[in-house]
Amino acid sequence: MTQSSGRPLRVAMIGYGFMGAAHSVGWRQAPRVFDLPEAVELAVVVGRNEQAVARAAAKWGWAEHATDWREVIARDDIDLVDIVTPGDSHAEIAIAALDAGKHVLCEKPLANSVEEAEAMAAAAERAAERGVRAMVGFTYRRVPAVSLLQDLIARGTIGEVRQVRAAYRQDWLVDPSVPLGWRLQKEHAGSGALGDIGAHIVDLTQFVTGERVTRVSGTVETIIRQRPVLGERSGFTGSATGELGEVTVDDAAIFTGRLDGGALVSFEATRFATGRKNALTIEVSGTDGALAFDLERLNELRYYDRTAPAELQGFTTILVTEPEHPYVSAWWPPGHMLGYEHGFSHQVVDFVTAIAHGTELDPTFADGLAVQRVLAAVEESAAKDSAWVAVDAPVAVESAIPANV
């Protein structure tokens, strides 16, 4: 139940927002539901506001709290750093932690820029040589239905992939009175719907097909260009007067991608799909069948078998709650639903197992970088009148490390 050192794997979590809550559930639940090869300890949660982070520690079950992530990373008793801060701090923290020999789980998106992501991937590669692991938190890969989808494609169940249709649609920006929070400002969020939810559908497409998006053509759009300023968070001063500020990120991104196997993918990421709350949908069409998933019905996978007798063909709604399905046997009997946060437990299970066994684990920082490159190419295409843009081939990572890291 312990590392070779004889003690549990001690985790420090940097950040304590909504994602901190979700990651905390993962760390707490995984060892109580699955049989982990290492014991796990929720050692310390780190944030700048001491009062708030102390509350988070008490609430979520972390033994300690701290305000200086550098000090925490320097501690000998910390084995693993889990980063759930906003994207603009991921690179600095992750690289420092990896260089300090800590395993790193970094929430998506890997970074706010390709350059940062490249530096992080390089750091992960250096760390790997010393047996230190890095993983990016594309948690939806570990929804059982998605994991099954990937596995079925890998086994050839639907034959060769011919087309993919992927969308992530939400509607929280339809209301024009939604204020100009940090997520709507480029300097903080990097990008809008594209980077936040578009990242998920790019990663899932690459994950389930086992292919990379090599070229893209796309459009990004800011539908409501001005929103009410929020005094303290925005840096503006006129909130009390009803002043409006500029939205500097996209509300929607529509793009087409080419996989290295040749198939076309239609992507749509939007925060303006009225009535759609969290509608990540992906459908993969192959020569022998198709598979379709909808995050709003995350316990279901739809499978079409083109090789079945003609009169019996149709989409089969598989309730992915059987013991034969990925991750499920540790949970409940057939027909008992899993929810959003179960993916975070599965992520912990797989990460801890990889650490204990010294095995490879997806999604790597290189996978996160690959997503980042696709998103950057979409933005470049959008700026070039939607011309097709090649996604950069991964350059040698050494040369990609910024000098100042």
Binding to its own copies (CB under 8 A): which residues in 258-277? Answer: 264, 266, 268, 270, 272-277
φ/ψ bin of 386: left (φ > 0), alpha (ψ from -120 to 50), beta (otherwise): left
In DSSP terms, 266 is beta-bridged to: 165, 256
Rounded Cα gap, residues 293 and 291, in angstroms: 7
Stretch that binds its own copies, among 3-11, 24-32, 128-136, 183-191 (CB under 8 A): 24-32
Give yes or no for residue 134 binding its own copies (CB under 8 A).
no
Stretch that binds its own copies, among 109-117, 229-237, 279-287, 356-364 (CB under 8 A): 279-287
290: contact with its own copies by CB under 8 A: yes
167: enclosing H helix or E strand = strand 161-169
Site string for its own copies, 331-360 (x = CB under 8 A): -xxxxxxxxxxx------------------
Query: Of 139 and 372, which has the nearer Cβ to its own copies?
Result: 139
Q: State the Cα–Cα distance between residues 151 and 208, nearest whole angstrom.
A: 8
Closest CA to 298 of 318, 269, 323: 318
162 binds its own copies (CB under 8 A): yes
CB of 32 to its own copies, least distance (A): 6
Of the pair 98, 389, the CB lying nearest its own copies is at: 389
Query: Which of the residues 208 through 227 are near its own copies (CB under 8 A)?
Result: 217, 219, 221, 223
Task: Provide CB contacts within 8 A for 90, sequence distance 6+.
Answer: 83, 106, 107, 109, 110, 111, 112, 116, 120
Interacting residue with its own copies among 226, 316, 329, 359 (CB under 8 A): 316
In terms of CB distance, is 133 or 141 closer to its own copies? 141
Q: How far is the CB of 327 from its own copies (least distance, A)?
A: 12
The residue from 9, 13, 20, 24 that contacts its own copies (CB under 8 A) is 24
- Closest approach, Cβ 145 to its own copies, in A, equals 11
Whether 284 and 161 have beta carbons less than 8 Å apart is answered as yes
Site for its own copies in 292-311 (CB under 8 A): 295-299, 303-306, 310-311
Check: CB of residue 351 under 8 Å from CB of residue 133.
Answer: yes
Alpha helices in 6-109 (DSSP H): 18-33, 50-60, 69-74, 90-99
Rounded-to-integer distance, Cα 345 and Cα 348, Å: 5
Site size for its own copies, by CB under 8 A? 87
CB-based burial, 140-150: b 16+ in 10 Å, e otherwise: bbbbbbbbbbb
Nearer to its own copies, 237 or 287 (CB): 287
